[in-house]
Structure 1
């Protein structure tokens, strides 16, 4: 990156207080939960609308057991929640910050290639 690139980020004038170790551990756990291509794809699907398992299976061309396994990881990490609707469970993102993390990561990789 050169001095004249549009993506240069200026450092803050004052260093913020570092987060506590508990926050750093929790952030690491969250990033590990997002660190699988199928889980990234699930988050990208859920950013537009809530989906049930069979919709994710169809959209991602992945088996139902694999989608369910990844949803369990995302749910345990607090990334998604499931709401029962009749016989189905509809999954949604807990908040939009998580979608932004994934979108920014994908955009960054695409810029580099």
Structure 2
């Protein structure tokens, strides 16, 4: 018998990554921990928008925030998500390089 619950959990992770801003945030956080102010500047978006996207990622267990003084720095804590994002972006880079070679 198929365990649909495990598929639902994976689908929820993929849904969270399906938004371009959230995918960008996760990719950036895989490189470096960051606070909301830096993300707001980098993404050129209002803090409310960035905070909303962070809330979704937090609720799915993809990122976690750690208080550092008066700020909260975020990091990616889900290893499956790290693998998925790396796979997606590595393939995109490989595809772009192949097109340039032709």
Equivalent pair of 2:36/2:73 in contact (CA under 8 Å):
yes
More helix by share: 2
Cα deviation digits, residues 45-75 of structure 1 (max 9, x gap): 1011110001111222221111100000000
When the two structures are aligned, how many residues end up with a matched partner? 96
Gaps of 5+ in 2: none
Equivalent pair of 1:47/1:96 in contact (CA under 8 Å):
no
State the partner residue of 1:106: 89
Q: What is the Cα deviation at residue 104 of structure 1?
A: 1.8
The correspondence of residues 84-95 of structure 1 with structure 2, limited to 5 A, is: 84-95=67-78
Q: What is the Cα deviation at residue 36 of structure 1?
A: 0.3
Equivalent pair of 1:80/1:91 in contact (CA under 8 Å):
yes
Q: Could you state the TM-score of these two structures normalised by the residue count of structure 1?
A: 0.75
CA distance in 2, matches of 1:76, 1:19: 26
Say what the alpha-carbon RMSD is for the aligned residues: 2.0
CA distance in 2, matches of 1:35, 1:65: 19
Gaps of 5+ in 1: 1-17
Max Rg structure:
1
